[in-house]
Structure 1
Amino acid sequence: MMCRRDLRMIMLYESKLNHSAAEAARNLTLAFGSKSPSKRTLRCWLAMFASGDFDLKEKAGRGRRVSLYDEALRAAVESKPDNTTRVLAADFDVHHTTVVKPLASISLVKKIQKWTPHHLTDDWRSTRYTICSNLLSEKTSHF
């Protein structure tokens, strides 16, 4: 797996060859497949290189950067598993979507607070049959 700086170096190389964003995207997709940057990303980087800025370092993004530590979030969920994402968000003082994404990344999903059968056991099958039979007999007896 290539790091971002290596990919930026390759984008600089494509820029030095005077390739368009579409050509660079085709070349990178051939070489790296789904791991290659998008055309829009390539367009931005090629425009930056064309303006004379050859700095390959990561620049700060727009907006407020908020991150939650997976361990802290996991500990909060394990201590009180019935909390909703909005309650967790209030505890961490972040927006609830900031909680949802890390929960999904650490493979935690919200389930019903009780066990539900995934397959029909013989007892459940007979119970359902009895209920259906009783309901049908009541319905047909009135006609």
Structure 2
Amino acid sequence: MSESNEEIRYILKFYYKKGQNATQAAKFFCDVYGPSAVSVRVAQIWFKHFQSGNFDVKDPSRCGRPMTDKMDAIFEKVEQDRHISSYDVAEERGIDHKTVLAHLKKTGYTKKLNTWVPHHLTVRNLMNCVLIFDSLLRLNETEPFLKKLITGDEKWITYDKNVRKRSWSNTGQASQTVAKPGITRNKVMLCVWCDWKGIIQYELLPPGRTIDSELYC
């Protein structure tokens, strides 16, 4: 670990003991050493380290790569690319894969699926949309075409396919008993076509088939 990185830890420790939070500590540090001297995430990691009661920030004098050096190398790589796999981090930094996972788990890192959010349109995109919609409405006034449009959509429909069978029994004899099967989910694709009045056609595709497979068969 270089002297500058060890200095970062000492300063973060100083701000932690002063009662500052990680964001404030990172800002104060960057105001002095430059905008990219330390990230808020790195400051949060070391603050969590201090909260556990461990205030040791000095590299141990031993053979091999210092543990704090490994930690910083892992966090630096993850900060650069949040989608990177733990295997890639281990390979690029020359660290054992289990060590990477242990440090990430210890500091609260976990793999989560990205969340879809609406696409944010620029002002120019919004203005173009308004102009296009306005021109279509004007065109519809002179040459009505909106009522001629047909739109389509599809949706997966899930269902259970458990069927009870009949068995031969004598008069007065009880029915045969069989164990109730577990629920098995099946699904088919429902295709719907609509005009301005409502649904004009719908179709359930054969199991395992999709609208794309139907189009290209």
TM exceeds 0.5?
Answer: no
TM range (shorter): 0.3 to 0.5
Specify which structure has the higher proportion of strand: 2
Give the structure, 1 or 2, with the largest relative contact order (CA under 8 Å, sep 6 or more).
1
Q: Normalising by structure 2, report the TM-score.
A: 0.28
Q: Normalising by structure 1, report the TM-score.
A: 0.41
Structure showing greater radius of gyration is 2
